A and B are shown apart, each in its own frame.
Chain A
Amino acid sequence: MKTTLPVIVAFLSGLIMVVGFFLNPEKSFLGNVEEEVLRWGTIVGGFTLLLGVVSLVRVNSRTVSQKKQGWIFNLITLISVFAMAIPSMIPLSSKSAIGSVLYSIIPASWGGLFGTGPDSIYDWMFNYLESPMMATMFAMLAFYIASAAYRAFRARNTEATLLLLTAVLVMLWRIPMGEAFLRLFGDNVPQYINSFVMNGVNMAVQRGIIIGAALGAASMSLRIMLGIERTYMGKG
């Protein structure tokens, strides 16, 4: 039963989604069921976020309480989670039960600091702490890419040489200075790169990858629906 029931649920859920795809939800029962399942999906999705937060708090608090190596970073993670979450969950006004208690203690004018709206604590921390930090992390990639290009991008064989030449052409094409340089060899050179590299070779390869991945996803879905693939139940 432990194995059979999840397989039946997976089969029926998959079947509803596949058949529902071809049906109008307003005119057919199965299409309507599909819509309902999708609504459940958004609700379940909300709970998965909560599960993620609970898991993050559990894992990090364990490391902090045991004072394992680098525990200070786990502590910073925990402080950050609550610093972002708590102000955003505090009621904005005294309309709710919690709000009436809270605003009998603090001035009502502080309401604007809470929630996730403009000028709230959450919004300030997001715009002035989180956004710059994430952008900085991503921007660091430019340094590593430059270093890797210098040390690893070698014309070792014919394939690598072709890749290297194409990369150089596309990099030139994607910048105004490079475009101006390419136009020295003919006004249509940038257009040729767009037509023959991006809409030619690149597109052919990308289509192969997209079709291959779609076929893989379809076969994996079929394996799950038929109960052949059971790793999601913790079985091999």
Chain B
Amino acid sequence: MSFWEKVSNIDRRWIYFLVAVSVVFPMLVVIKFPIGITPEAKQLYDAVEALPDSSIVFLTFDYYPSTLAETEPISIAALNQMFRKNMKIITMTTVPLGGPSIAERVTRKLANKYNKVYGIDFVNLGYKANYVAVLKGMGSSIESIYPADNAGTPLKDLPLMSKVRNYNDVKFIFVVADNGIVDYWISIVNAQYGTPVGAGVTAVMAPKMYSFVEAKQLTGLLGGMKGAAEYERLVNHEGTATRGMDAQSMVHLLIIFFVIVGNIGYFATRKSGRSGQV
């Protein structure tokens, strides 16, 4: 067996080992490279910055715990920016599996940091089933869809919600999502009610969203952990996304290395027809 045949048929556990090393090593040894800002991330940041202080905004937690590494830093960076501008934040989720709990945990942590009061500065509406009906229904009346908040307090007892009837009273909707719900925020809420929508999504979802940004149906876009790191840099709050960029860099470089070596092995062994099995 030639060298390249051996390389092509390498035990996959070596690959797993190298991936593990690439993730762990940058956590022990910090290698900081400057994070470039994409125009889409800047557009989203500028749109939120341009809102008057104390504006009422929506922040959605439309993601499952599985994608927390990518999505939660976006939520945290957005909350830092919004609370710093004294915005009144309404959080909600269309994800039943943990969405309300994530919103509660993240929002309360940031609210304590900025001394914000529940019911006055922020409200967590929680989850309601059937997202198309929820998104459409809130266009007429939020209270008709959510008679009470996540803890069961009637909306009429929350001072912030007395100022909000429907989307007309909301200046901006910041969607953080790991699923197709962004399409509905665009097609139902932005298209029908005209409320500006910005989005932070997982890296695999981001390519689809560029067409919505170009069509101005989406006001800015953050894609994956890199997008989150860009936003952290913009709001001047270094968080887990910025710290995670080293690990992501190493793994990306490792995968590129694997692709190159794999292809050299493929061409070197092609004539003998014995390249590695998938």
Contacts and interface: CB of A to CB of B under 8 A. Distances in A.
Interface string A118-159: 100011001100110011011100110111111111110000
B127 to A, nearest CB: 10
A146 B251 contact: yes
A29 interface: no
Contacts of B120: none
Interface string B95-124: 010101100110010000000000000000
Contact of B259 (A118, A164, A178, A210): A164
Interface residues of B, number: 73
Interface residues of A, number: 63
B130 A143 contact: no
A174 B210 contact: no
A171 to B, nearest CB: 5
B98 A147 contact: no
B210 A202 contact: yes
Contacts of A202: 207, 210
B129 A45 contact: yes
Contact of B140 (A35, A115, A174): A35
Interface in B251-278: 251-256, 258-259, 261-263, 266, 275-278
B114 to A, nearest CB: 17
Given A42-B133, A143-B15, A151 B276 contact: yes
Contacts of B277: 151
A178 B34 contact: no
B129 A49 contact: yes
A137 B66 contact: yes
B58 to A, nearest CB: 18
Given A39-B137, A154-B266, A175-B248, A131 B68 contact: yes
B262 A117 contact: no
Interface in A46-71: 46, 48-49
A152 B254 contact: no
The 8 closest A-B pairs by CB, nearest first: A45-B130, A45-B129, A41-B133, A176-B33, A138-B66, A131-B65, A150-B258, A175-B249
Given A150-B258, A206-B208, A206-B211, 5 more contacts: A39-B137, A151-B262, A151-B278, A176-B32, A194-B38
30 contacts: A35-B144, A45-B128, A118-B104, A135-B69, A137-B66, A138-B66, A145-B255, A146-B18, A147-B12, A150-B259, A151-B12, A151-B262, A153-B262, A154-B262, A155-B266, A168-B256, A171-B252, A171-B256, A175-B248, A175-B249, A176-B34, A177-B31, A177-B253, A179-B34, A180-B33, A190-B36, A198-B207, A199-B214, A203-B210, A210-B211
Interface of B: 10, 12, 15-16, 18-20, 23, 31-36, 38-39, 64-69, 96, 98, 100-101, 104-105, 108, 128-130, 132-134, 136-137, 140, 144-145, 150-151, 192, 203, 207-208, 210-211, 214, 223-224, 226, 229, 245, 248-256, 258-259, 261-263, 266, 275-278
